[in-house]
Chain A
């Protein structure tokens, strides 16, 4: 079971990021979320949603959604670096199990752009 994204349904409200940030930090912020709204190409109207899991990153690009293994999506390549640590700043999605809740990003999304599968 994991959180997936229907990127074309997303309207970029960032409620998923906010709910995830609340789950981790008990405050309203988007700096720690496992769910990340990509909105860095505003002038092109381009946006997507990413979900970090322990093993991969689900990337919901408007041109297609796919899960990519960590390391694969990076240009660096796939060998060596065995001692590199996963990032501290952003936790991997735990489906909100640590809070005993249903995944809050899915529950909060007004457009049903996030779903469990």
Chain B
């Protein structure tokens, strides 16, 4: 568990995760399994927004610590070899598809064909739907499904104009509801504990696809209702007529591999029920393959030198100092009436603190084990990086306060934060992995 508090901490401690932690974290030969520990790749490259962090969070909740954060160049250079799961979250689907290109698409196809699991939510779902059939998406078609939320001339929205539409050829992808929705089981979710006794689950829909056209057996979850905890860009009745019974999540088997796409963010940290649906899919993928995880290799050990204890402690303190400084500035940024557009995506200032929070709540764990971080330069890189982030955040805030344009500085800040958060979480998960007990390390085979 992390040091995260409040409602996020409460969600993290939800008993629903025990089943998956037990299966993933503590499983091993000592419990009679022939297991290897699944390796997870999380896409953080071009087009990815902040929601990839939620995937990292979810993996931690279910005891999967062997996580690597990858960008587009990693994919096309064979970087998916040896991974068991590839997780692609929300963001700017166009930017994702363009930066991944044909090489990236082929890498994903090969990955799934070799028995990997692709889990895409929101933009990560659009990316691989057969119904999304325009350049630059054409090479990615993996899952049968059409978008229902597309039309040539959508009606004017009631609210959230700035989040309503995205161009799709001659048409528009539109989002009639933003926020919590209710989903129930599809045929592919038979026996899923999260849907026990006809239960439905809540999940947040932030612009993801509303789907149809998938084979009945492949529908994992269907929209079954709405919630007051959402913004209705269309009249509520119209939204219900559009979404009710449509596919919210679809799962498809391709050879040994599995592709799962979801309109709602099943990985969102405030929705343990939705998290459990995603976790169950991962578990069943492993079960289908006859072992817990492909375990095609584990990360290397040794060869990298940690820095000395005193220096490591000092660097950990400096990271804490700078993350705190930056977080305090970011808190002040939250109330500022400004957004920044990066590519097609609008970024609100609140997201600066969100990146920082994910590091902040994990810092105590890292600080206690700073002397184990290898190579030790990673700590220095993080300390220096967060120092820069503090200065950038202060500069952005000063510019906004003085009425100056902050776009360029904000773009740099958010880009740096994204990279730095991935670097921090890499260190964090490596330490978590080192502490994991009960599973043998398998030699690297790729």
A35 to nearest B CB, angstroms? 12
B146 to nearest A CB, angstroms? 18
Cβ contact within 8 Å between A32 and B159: no
Give Cα A88 to B353, complex, Å: 10
B95 to nearest A CB, angstroms? 10
Give Cα A70 to B161, complex, Å: 8
Cβ contact within 8 Å between B337 and A24: no
Give Cα A92 to B180, complex, Å: 11
Complex interface: chain A residues within 8 A of B331 (CB): 31
Q: Which of B6, B49, B173, B351 has most A Cβ within 10 Å? A: B6
| Chain B interface bracket (under 10, 10 to 19, 20 to 34, 35 or more) | 35 or more
Complex interface: chain A residues within 8 A of B268 (CB): 88
Cβ contact within 8 Å between A97 and B340: no
Interface residue SS majority, chain B: mixed
Contact mask for chain B residues 168-185; partner A; CB cutoff 8 A; 1 contact, 0 none: 000001110011000000
* CB nearest neighbor in B for A92: B229
In the complex with contacts A83-B166, A94-B228, A94-B229, A24-B7 CB distance below 8 A: yes
Complex interface: chain A residues within 8 A of B26 (CB): none
A108 to nearest B CB, angstroms? 19
Complex interface: chain B residues within 8 A of A26 (CB): 6-7, 10
Complex interface: chain A residues within 8 A of B357 (CB): 89
A16-34 interface (Cβ within 8 A of B): 24-27, 29, 31-32
Cβ contact within 8 Å between A54 and B229: yes
* CB nearest neighbor in B for A37: B335
* CB nearest neighbor in B for A88: B354
A72 to nearest B CB, angstroms? 7
Contact mask for chain A residues 57-80; partner B; CB cutoff 8 A; 1 contact, 0 none: 000000000000111111111111
Cβ contact within 8 Å between A74 and B339: yes
Give Cα A86 to B351, complex, Å: 10
Complex interface: chain A residues within 8 A of B231 (CB): 54-55, 70, 86
A83 to nearest B CB, angstroms? 5
Complex interface: chain B residues within 8 A of A101 (CB): none
Complex interface: chain A residues within 8 A of B133 (CB): none
Cβ contact within 8 Å between B159 and A78: no
Contact mask for chain A residues 73-117; partner B; CB cutoff 8 A; 1 contact, 0 none: 111111111111111111110100100000000000000000000
Cβ contact within 8 Å between B49 and A85: yes
Give Cα A82 to B337, complex, Å: 18
A117 to nearest B CB, angstroms? 17
Complex interface: chain A residues within 8 A of B228 (CB): 54, 94, 97
Complex interface: chain A residues within 8 A of B346 (CB): 76, 80-81, 84
Is A40 part of the binding interface, using a Cβ–Cβ cutoff of 8 Å?
Answer: yes
Of B30-38, B86-94, B242-250, the one with at least 4 CB within 8 A of chain A: B86-94
Cβ contact within 8 Å between A36 and B335: yes
Is A50 part of the binding interface, using a Cβ–Cβ cutoff of 8 Å?
Answer: yes
Complex interface: chain A residues within 8 A of B166 (CB): 80, 82-83
* CB nearest neighbor in B for A54: B231
Contact mask for chain B residues 209-250; partner A; CB cutoff 8 A; 1 contact, 0 none: 000000000000000000011111000000000000000000
Is B301 part of the binding interface, using a Cβ–Cβ cutoff of 8 Å?
Answer: no
Interface residue SS majority, chain A: loop
Cβ contact within 8 Å between B179 and A76: no
Cβ contact within 8 Å between A77 and B6: no
Complex interface: chain B residues within 8 A of A29 (CB): 6
Give Cα A32 to B50, complex, Å: 18
A65 to nearest B CB, angstroms? 16
Give Cα A97 to B229, complex, Å: 10
Contact mask for chain B residues 123-150; partner A; CB cutoff 8 A; 1 contact, 0 none: 1000000000000000000000000000
Give Cα A71 to B207, complex, Å: 15
Is B332 part of the binding interface, using a Cβ–Cβ cutoff of 8 Å?
Answer: yes
Is B347 part of the binding interface, using a Cβ–Cβ cutoff of 8 Å?
Answer: yes
B209 to nearest A CB, angstroms? 11
Complex interface: chain A residues within 8 A of B350 (CB): 87-90
Is B122 part of the binding interface, using a Cβ–Cβ cutoff of 8 Å?
Answer: yes
A90 to nearest B CB, angstroms? 7
* CB nearest neighbor in B for A84: B346
In the complex with contacts A25-B7, A31-B331, A75-B345 CB distance below 8 A: no
* CB nearest neighbor in B for A87: B350
* CB nearest neighbor in A for B162: A71
Is B322 part of the binding interface, using a Cβ–Cβ cutoff of 8 Å?
Answer: no
B→A interface (CB under 8 Å): 5-7, 10, 49-51, 90-93, 122-123, 158-166, 173-175, 178-179, 206-207, 228-232, 268-270, 331-332, 334-335, 337-341, 344-348, 350-351, 353-354, 357
Question: Can you give 29 A-B contacts (C-beta < 8 A)?
Answer: A26-B6, A27-B6, A29-B6, A31-B331, A55-B158, A69-B160, A70-B163, A71-B159, A71-B162, A72-B161, A74-B162, A76-B162, A76-B346, A78-B162, A79-B161, A80-B166, A80-B341, A80-B344, A81-B162, A81-B341, A82-B163, A82-B165, A82-B173, A83-B122, A86-B231, A87-B334, A87-B354, A88-B268, A89-B354
Closest 4 CB pairs of A and B: A25-B6, A81-B346, A71-B162, A87-B350
